[in-house]
């Protein structure tokens, strides 16, 4: 087995050893050329706010894509406090540990990428689809065979070219579904027949403006106010629930 194939297999196994994590590898260039990047008409984050973006490893070739299960019965994994959620903090820790391991075990340089494009992140659903972790459903979310849309995503940039996965074949859960996700949206964001971003943004801005007491206190004893962003199109989806 080649050195890079071994590294890829071990890396995926190492990532999936964390509870509730699935992982795959994809070519960076494929993601940068993917449908979401094509949707952007005026340049991308690199020319819009270069000063805010992290500096990528030079000539980086691959991405490790992580999907972490966010079970509906643990909603607090998604509650935002100080611009971050517990689930996202956990994924950051995991991705940092995997990057360190890759250097120690295989002498391959890697870096955990930020979540937002404007800070140097990538479009994570495209990356996950291309890595073979799932497909994009009618609710415009990544649907995985294991956990449906109840996952959150993150990517680790890797300097070397590692053997990549490929999109899933034959997993088309929306075809046989009556799509309760489409009518679950309180803003009717799917009524035009496809996802209408401005309607969704309106709901999430409303959620942001209405934080609530998440049951925890800060060091001064004041209640920590959290934001619970709408995920009704996600929670209505039956995929991965059996």
How many of the other CB atoms lie within 10 Å of CB of 121? Answer: 19
Is the distance from CB of 125 to CB of 39 less than 8 angstroms? no
The answer to whether 27 contacts ligand B12 (rule: CB under 6 A) is: no
For 241, residues 6+ apart whose C-beta sits below 8 A from its C-beta are: 148
Among 66, 123, 138, 160, binds ligand B12 (CB under 6 A): 123
Q: Does 129 bind ligand B12 (CB under 6 A)?
A: yes
What is the spatial distance between Cα 167 and Cα 134, in angstroms, rounded to a whole number? 7
- Of residues 36 through 95, those in contact with ligand B12 by CB under 6 A are 36, 39, 78
23, 28, 142, 227: which one contacts ligand B12 (CB under 6 A)?
Answer: 142
**Of residues 133, 152, 156, 157, which one binds ligand B12 by CB under 6 A?**
152
The Cβ of residue 201 has, within 10 Å, a number of other Cβ atoms equal to: 12
Kindly write down the DSSP assignment for every residue of 143-190, as one continuous string.
EBTTTBT-EEEEEEEESS-PPP----SS--GGGG---HHHHH-TT-TT
For residues 161 to 190, the per-residue mask of contacts with ligand B12, x marking binding by CB under 6 A and - elsewhere, is ------x-----------------------
Rank residues 16 and 30 by Cβ distance to ligand B12 and give the closer one: 30
- Which SS3 state, helix, strand or coil, does residue 6 take? helix
Contact 132, 67 (CB under 8 A): no
Q: Which of 132, 234, 237, 239 binds ligand B12 (CB under 6 A)?
A: 234
Contact with ligand B12 (CB under 6 A) among 95, 112, 139, 159? 139
What's the rounded Cα separation, in Å, for the pair 116 and 154? Answer: 10
Q: Based on the shown chain and the rule CB under 6 A, indicate whether residue 222 belongs to the binding site for ligand B12.
A: no
Work out which of 28, 130, 182, 184 binds ligand B12, going by CB under 6 A.
130
Rounded Cα–Cα distance for residues 141 and 139 (Å)? 5
Residue 153 as a binder of ligand B12 (CB under 6 A): the answer is yes
**Residue 208, SS3 per DSSP:** helix
The residue range among 3-11, 17-25, 54-62, 132-140 that interacts with ligand B12, by the rule CB under 6 A, is 132-140
Contact set with ligand B12 (CB under 6 A): 34-36, 39, 78, 115-117, 121, 123-126, 129-130, 136, 139-142, 149, 151-153, 167, 195, 197, 200-201, 204, 229-231, 233-234
């Amino acid at each position: 087995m080649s050195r890079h194939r071994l590294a890829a297999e071990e890396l995926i196994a190492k990532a999936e050893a964390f509870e509730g994590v699935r992982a795959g590898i994809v070519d960076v260039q494929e993601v940068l050329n993917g449908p979401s990047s094509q949707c952007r008409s005026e340049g991308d984050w690199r020319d819009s706010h270069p000063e805010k973006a992290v500096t990528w490893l030079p000539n980086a070739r691959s991405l490790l894509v992580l999907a972490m299960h966010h079970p509906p019965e643990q909603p607090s994994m998604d509650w935002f406090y100080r611009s971050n959620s517990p689930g996202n903090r956990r994924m950051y820790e995991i991705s940092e540990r995997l990057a360190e391991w890759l250097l120690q075990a295989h002498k391959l340089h890697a870096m955990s990428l930020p979540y937002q494009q404007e800070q140097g992140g990538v479009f994570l659903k495209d990356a996950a689809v291309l890595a073979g972790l799932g497909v994009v459903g009618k609710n415009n979310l990544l649907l995985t065979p294991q956990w449906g849309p109840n996952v959150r995503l993150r990517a680790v940039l890797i300097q070397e070219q590692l053997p990549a996965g490929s999109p899933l074949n034959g997993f088309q859960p929306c075809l046989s579904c009556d799509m309760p996700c489409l009518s679950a949206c309180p803003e009717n964001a799917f009524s035009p027949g496809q996802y209408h971003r401005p309607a969704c943004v309106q709901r999430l801005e409303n959620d942001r403006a209405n934080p609530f007491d998440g049951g925890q206190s800060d060091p001064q004893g004041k209640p920590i106010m959290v934001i619970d962003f709408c995920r009704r199109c996600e929670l209505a989806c039956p995929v991965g629930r059996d």
